[in-house]
Amino acid sequence: MRTQFYNYICDLQDTITTAIEKVDGQASFQEDLWDRPEGGGGRTRVIENGAVFEKGGVNISGVHGTLPATMQTHFNVSDASFYACGLSLVLHPKNPLAPTVHANWRYFELYDANGDIADQWFGGGLDLTPYYLFEEDAVHFHQTCKEACDIHDPSFYPTYKKRCDEYFWNAHRNEARGLGGLFFDYLKPQQKSMEDWYAFVTDVADHFLTAYLPIIERRKNLPFTEDQRNWQEIRRGRYVEFNLVHDKGTLFGLKTNGRIESILMSLPPQVQWKYNHEAEANSPEEELIKVLKQPKNWVELK
């Protein structure tokens, strides 16, 4: 399974980066191959200063070794080793009317002292973070997520949509990071076969471009003001706060001696933090904040 999934994310990285370069029309991804001294490595691809994307990354990695003591405590194991692979992406458009997007699909194996698999699971998802609310974009994104889930189980979308809303919650701000999408973790063989989980996770990943590209095409060339750009940079600050304070993937990478440049690739290049900043009453900015304070259902659940 680990070989099968790693080969899949290698191909997926090629597919996504090719599509993003075509949408941008100007910039290309720069590739950086790296090795992890403890075992494994990765392939980081970053795009910067494009016509559409100010910064973005589509990264894959496959790492292995002894599980650090802090993580052994987290998983309640001792003398354990691990293997983890996945694809992680973040795309930050220049235009404040175009949304940031994040996605991640990963596979994990935990081994006992004899080297046998003691545990294994899939995780991942995708979520949308706009700076201005376009309801048709939210509906399209969530409808695509639902279609990917419904191929496998109609209960998946409402379950994993709710978990996404819960996970990407900036508790210290009492607001969501964005409009959500899907989030799932610890998909294990006790629930379904790993082959079934593989089929589900890869179907979700295969729907990513369908979910995001129509939105970016609609918004990338819209005119915008300096005030809208300032709002985008202020909201990007909340994005950074979540990634550095709450995100489990970031914390796992830091605690397992992951590659810092790849881990922090998700951070946008231009960000603002203004003291006690609030959106103007009855403004488009406040309209977004209201939805972030109270996540809503974007598609009909039967």
Confidence class for position 130, pLDDT limits 50, 70, 90: very high
pLDDT higher than threshold 70 for residue 38: yes
As annotated, the active-site residues are 102
Asked whether residue 78 carries a pLDDT value surpassing 80, the answer given is no
Q: In Å, how far from its chain's centre is CA 225?
A: 28
Can you read off the two tokens belonging to residue 46?
């970053």
Using alpha carbons only, give the angle 96, 101, 104 rounded to the nearest 5 degrees: 165
DSSP assignment of 96-121: TTSPEEEEEEEEEEEE-TTS-EEEEE
The band of 100, judged by pLDDT with boundaries at 50, 70 and 90, is very high
Tokens of 100: 């940031």
Can you give the pLDDT at residue 67?
80
Q: Which pLDDT score, from 0 to 100, does residue 253 have?
A: 79
pLDDT digits over 148-185, tens only? 999 999 999 999 999 999 999 999 999 999 999 999 99
Q: State how far the Cα of 15 lies from the Cα of 231, in Å rounded to an integer.
A: 32
Taking the C-alpha atoms of residue 129 and residue 120, their distance in angstroms, rounded to an integer, is 30
The proportion of the chain whose per-residue pLDDT surpasses 90, expressed as a percent, equals 84
| Cα 131 from Cα 128, distance rounded (Å) | 10
Q: Locate 154 and state its tokens.
A: 């109609």
Rounded Cα distance between 74 and 64, Å, is 17
Structure token pair of residue 147: 């279609």
pLDDT band at 302 (very low <50, low <70, confident <90, very high): low
- What pLDDT does 248 receive? 85
Compute the average pLDDT of residues 18-32.
97
* Residue 68, pLDDT above cutoff 80: no
| Candidate from 46-55, 61-70, 93-102 with smallest mean pLDDT | 61-70
Q: Using the 8-state DSSP alphabet, how is residue 51 labeled?
A: S
Other beta carbons within 10 angstroms of residue 223's beta carbon come to 7
Please say if the pLDDT value at position 127 is more than 70: yes
Please say whether the structural domain 2-293 has been given the CATH code 3.40.1500.10.
Answer: yes
Q: Give the Cα separation of 4 and 209 in Å (integer).
A: 21
pLDDT of residue 168: 97
Mean pLDDT of 272-280: 94
Residues 65-80, mean pLDDT to the nearest whole number: 75
User: Looking at per-residue confidence, does 94 or 74 come out higher?
Assistant: 94
115: confidence class by pLDDT, cuts 50, 70, 90: confident
How high does pLDDT run on average in the chain? 94
Give 227's pLDDT tier (boundaries 50, 70, 90): very high
- Give mean pLDDT, residues 110-117: 88
Task: Look at residues 64, 62, 63, 50 and name the one whose alpha carbon lies nearest to residue 20.
Answer: 50
Query: With bands split at pLDDT 50, 70 and 90, how would you rate the model's confidence at 114?
Result: confident
CA-closest candidate to residue 82, choices 33, 34, 32, 36: 36
Question: Using alpha carbons only, how large is the chain's radius of gyration in Å?
Answer: 19
Residue 199 identity: A
**Residues 5, 11: Cα–Cα separation, whole Å:** 10
Do 121 and 108 form a contact (C-beta atoms < 8 A)? yes
Rounded mean pLDDT, 246-256: 82
Reduce the DSSP state of residue 170 to 3 states and report it: strand
Domain extents in the chain: 2-293
Contact, 111 vs 268, CB < 8 A? no
Q: What is the band of 300 on the pLDDT scale with cuts at 50, 70, 90?
A: confident
By mean pLDDT, which of 154-163, 164-173, 254-263, 286-295 is the weakest? 254-263
Structure tokens at 48: 């910067």
Percent of the chain's residues with pLDDT above 70: 99
The SS3 of residue 61 is strand
Give the pLDDT mean for 116-125.
95
**Mean pLDDT confidence for 245-258:** 82
Phi/psi class of residue 255: alpha, beta or left (left: φ > 0; alpha: ψ in -120 to 50)?
A: alpha
Report the sign of the C-alpha dihedral through residues 207, 213, 218, 224, in that order.
Answer: positive
